Chain A
Amino acid sequence: MKAVGARLPRYDGLAHVTGRTTYVDDVRAPGLLWTKALRSPHHSARIVNIDTSRAEQHPGVRAVITQADVPQNVYGHLEALGVPADEPLLADGEVRYRGQPIAAVAAEDEATAREALELITVEYEEREPLFDIRLAFDPGAPTVHEWGPVFPHFGPHRQRRVRKGDVEGAFDRAHVIVEGVYRPGAIEHVPIEPQTALVVPEADGRLTIYSCTQAMYFSMGVVAQHLQLPLNRLKFVGGTVGGGFGGKVDTASETISALLALKAQRPVKWRWTREEEFLASSTRAPWHIELADAVTEDGWILGRRTLTLHDAGAYTRFSSYGLTKHAFHHAGAYTIPNVHFDGFVVYSNRVPTTAMRGFGVTSVSYAVELHMSRIAEVLGMDPWELRLKNANRIGDVTPNLVRLKDPSTVPVMQAAAERVGVELRPEYRSMSSEPRSGDLLPEHLVGNAGQTNGTEAR
């Protein structure tokens, strides 16, 4: 721990300021071909017919690929973790979001590649799209996937569920029920470096893949699976990512570039345009979160009901993981002994959503904190005091049965209050994370299965 607190130069700092940092787009490869992708103009449609023959014959075009060229077209981002795949690399028979890639072209220059796209004919049968996930459960709602509106692989239920304590009882005993609906929207990552991949087919049959991925080993696995190649045929060269923020974990450009490179036997580069970044790149997911808290008039939160709908967009990608993390944190930094959480990954005909800084947790923190402030307002209570009162203490048990060893809610809030010039009343200024006991242990935190702290032997 010699580095903590020390002022160290960035090891890449001098490269950055001398323009010598090599991003994927800066790698030079003789004989490079440029790539463009044909993307669906429709939100939801069946692909009746696709004809690439004219594009293939266009002068300067060296390779055209569709789903037929992909050894394993459907492979899921989390398949290695047991989550079944649902997303094709290139569309096969249907498209589920505007911007979904259907075909890709490698040509001698960008303009030729663009011209080739014009020469690919696709016949579509448009279908009614679904954009509002709240409507996904209605009978007659447009379907995105044949198995239904939600991700079906969470186990015995098609959702994340957390049940703890006696929520009914908590709601009966409460003086006030405070409800709120929170809908954080989608956010684009907008890295200044657009998605870029460069693939060089080597003479020994290997592929050197220059990638902007945030997750090299992960992307290697994804490419290997799609291409049905052993890992030792791939050499991934990562490096400095020009901004990722979670948006460069989807391995969005490497596989298609690799297939084109294999077909053309020439180095292939694919650099997304800024328009593609906004249109087709994944986003942070929109969420719909409903909270209802059972609250006493003196500010104890006895119980919480939560309903979360997570908008996965057209395909699952990492959404199941995001919702799981979200579920862990739905009590926030506070001890709520009776909880009832239902969360669903819901599909829509939007761009598939993905990770972005705090994936899954930022949404529930946003909702929880707004809700705490709402509760304080309803009760006429100071919002700092409400939070400190209900804050986690050592030994408290979270909704997912984690016994907290060193929660920091109390000291962090006290430090924050001091920083912003909020003077806490003495009772709150002197609070600590020590387990509540005696008079300070409220009735609703005593005894209730796996509950708390101080009074128990563990």
Chain B
Amino acid sequence: MNLTVNGVETELVSPPLASLLHVLREELGVTSPKAGCQQGGCGACTVLVDGQPRRACLVPLGAVAGAEVVTVEGLGSLDGLSPVQAAFHERYAAQCGFCTSGMMIAAHAYIERGGTGERATILEALGGHVCRCTGYTKIVEAVGAAARGEVAPADVQADFDPQPGEPEILVKGAPA
């Protein structure tokens, strides 16, 4: 069985009833989608399957053979963040970060299908995603900012050196 994951076509050995979440995490080592509940209730496992947001824990591999799967790793990277990633970082939309992958995939899909950033539409699109840390306010703000193109990825510096006049940062950031 084949899947194209983040642009790379791969042949898989997992059985057809294995969940896409299990396949991504355990067989392919793609760990951004998380096992928060494994019953479709939290949204942390959400990935794009042929452009559509899907709960990976609910998708049997056999149902998506040959499909294109995109996870957060495929949305962008440190030196090329997607607008959603840039907005989530800039607007402090992640605290512990565990729900963040699913939120960003849902946000990405929302914007791709024309989401304007109007609050009610964001709540509708992300309504299946649970966050226990943030209280959702900053997440909704970040999705709106991304929808309106308010955060340019180029402006989000991976370089943590302080600018003139800014306080010195004693602990430099790096991927955890």
Binding site for B on A (CB under 8 A): 2-3, 6, 8-23, 25-26, 28, 189-194, 239-243, 245, 271, 273-274
Task: Take A12-B97, A21-B97 as given contacts and tell me if A273 and B89 are in contact as well, using a CB distance cutoff of 8 Å.
Answer: no
A22 B167 Cβ-Cβ under 8 A: no
- B164 CB–A CB distance under 8 Å: no
Contacts of B152 in A (CB 8 A): none
A17 B37 Cβ-Cβ under 8 A: no
Smallest beta-carbon distance B126→chain A, Å: 14
B123-137 near A? 1/0 per residue, CB < 8 Å: 000000011110000
A-B residue pairs, 7 tightest by C-beta: A19-B32, A242-B98, A16-B97, A19-B72, A2-B167, A11-B173, A274-B37
A18 B72 Cβ-Cβ under 8 A: yes
Task: Take A17-B104, A241-B96 as given contacts and tell me if A192 and B131 are in contact as well, using a CB distance cutoff of 8 Å.
Answer: yes
**Chain A residue, CB-CB nearest to B82:** A17
Main secondary structure of the interface of B (DSSP, over half): loop
Task: Take A190-B132, A193-B36 as given contacts and tell me if A15 and B97 are in contact as well, using a CB distance cutoff of 8 Å.
Answer: yes
Contacts of A19 in B (CB 8 A): 31-32, 71-73, 101
Task: Take A19-B72, A242-B98, A243-B98 as given contacts and tell me if A14 and B175 are in contact as well, using a CB distance cutoff of 8 Å.
Answer: yes
- B114 CB–A CB distance under 8 Å: no
Partner of B176 from A20, A243, A271 at Cβ < 8 Å:
A20
- B35 CB–A CB distance under 8 Å: yes
Q: Tell me the bound Cα distance from A239 to B175 in angstroms.
A: 12
B132 A243 Cβ-Cβ under 8 A: yes
26 contacts between A and B (CB under 8 A): A3-B167, A6-B167, A8-B169, A9-B173, A11-B174, A12-B173, A12-B176, A15-B174, A16-B89, A16-B94, A16-B97, A17-B86, A20-B175, A21-B176, A22-B176, A23-B98, A28-B29, A192-B34, A194-B35, A194-B36, A242-B98, A243-B96, A271-B35, A274-B38, A274-B39, A274-B41
B65-90 near A? 1/0 per residue, CB < 8 Å: 00000011100111001000110110
Smallest beta-carbon distance B7→chain A, Å: 15
A13 B94 Cβ-Cβ under 8 A: yes
- B118 CB–A CB distance under 8 Å: no
Task: Take A19-B72, A194-B36, A274-B37 as given contacts and tell me if A10 and B92 are in contact as well, using a CB distance cutoff of 8 Å.
Answer: yes
Contacts of A10 in B (CB 8 A): 89, 92, 94, 173
**Chain A residue, CB-CB nearest to B172:** A11
Contacts of B98 in A (CB 8 A): 23, 191-193, 242-243
- B168 CB–A CB distance under 8 Å: yes
B130 A192 Cβ-Cβ under 8 A: yes
Partner of B81 from A9, A17, A240 at Cβ < 8 Å:
A17
**Chain B residue, CB-CB nearest to A12:** B176
Q: Tell me the bound Cα distance from A180 to B10 in angstroms.
A: 66
Q: Tell me the bound Cα distance from A193 to B37 in angstroms.
A: 9
Smallest beta-carbon distance B159→chain A, Å: 10
B94-131 near A? 1/0 per residue, CB < 8 Å: 10111111001000000000000000000000000011
A-B contact count (CB 8 A): 127
Smallest beta-carbon distance B116→chain A, Å: 22
Q: Tell me the bound Cα distance from A15 to B89 in angstroms.
A: 9
Contacts of B39 in A (CB 8 A): 274
Q: Tell me the bound Cα distance from A13 to B157 in angstroms.
A: 11
Smallest beta-carbon distance A67→chain B, Å: 29
Task: Take A243-B96, A274-B36 as given contacts and tell me if A17 and B175 are in contact as well, using a CB distance cutoff of 8 Å.
Answer: no
Q: Tell me the bound Cα distance from A21 to B97 in angstroms.
A: 8
B34 A23 Cβ-Cβ under 8 A: yes
**Chain B residue, CB-CB nearest to A20:** B175
**Chain B residue, CB-CB nearest to A6:** B167
Contacts of A15 in B (CB 8 A): 97, 174-176
**Chain B residue, CB-CB nearest to A8:** B169
- B158 CB–A CB distance under 8 Å: yes
Contacts of A6 in B (CB 8 A): 166-167
Task: Take A9-B89, A190-B132 as given contacts and tell me if A17 and B94 are in contact as well, using a CB distance cutoff of 8 Å.
Answer: yes
Q: Tell me the bound Cα distance from A100 to B44 in angstroms.
A: 28
**Chain B residue, CB-CB nearest to A23:** B98
Interface centre among A18, A190, A193, A241 (most CB of B within 10 A): A18
- B13 CB–A CB distance under 8 Å: no
Q: Tell me the bound Cα distance from A245 to B169 in angstroms.
A: 27
Q: Tell me the bound Cα distance from A415 to B77 in angstroms.
A: 44
Contacts of B100 in A (CB 8 A): 16-17
B92 A240 Cβ-Cβ under 8 A: no
Task: Take A18-B73, A18-B81, A274-B38 as given contacts and tell me if A240 and B96 are in contact as well, using a CB distance cutoff of 8 Å.
Answer: yes
Smallest beta-carbon distance A10→chain B, Å: 7
Contacts of A26 in B (CB 8 A): 25, 31
A245 B132 Cβ-Cβ under 8 A: yes
Q: Tell me the bound Cα distance from A193 to B44 in angstroms.
A: 9
Partner of A11 from B32, B37, B104, B171 at Cβ < 8 Å:
B171
Q: Tell me the bound Cα distance from A241 to B98 in angstroms.
A: 8
- B42 CB–A CB distance under 8 Å: yes
B36-58 near A? 1/0 per residue, CB < 8 Å: 11110110100000000000000
Contacts of B169 in A (CB 8 A): 8
Given contacts A17-B72, A19-B73, A242-B97, 10 further A-B contacts (CB under 8 A): A10-B89, A15-B175, A15-B176, A16-B100, A17-B81, A25-B34, A28-B29, A190-B132, A240-B97, A274-B38
Contacts of B133 in A (CB 8 A): 243
B15-26 near A? 1/0 per residue, CB < 8 Å: 000000000010
Q: Tell me the bound Cα distance from A6 to B168 in angstroms.
A: 10
Contacts of B85 in A (CB 8 A): 17-18
Q: Tell me the bound Cα distance from A16 to B44 in angstroms.
A: 13
Smallest beta-carbon distance A43→chain B, Å: 25
Q: Tell me the bound Cα distance from A19 to B171 in angstroms.
A: 21
B73 A192 Cβ-Cβ under 8 A: no
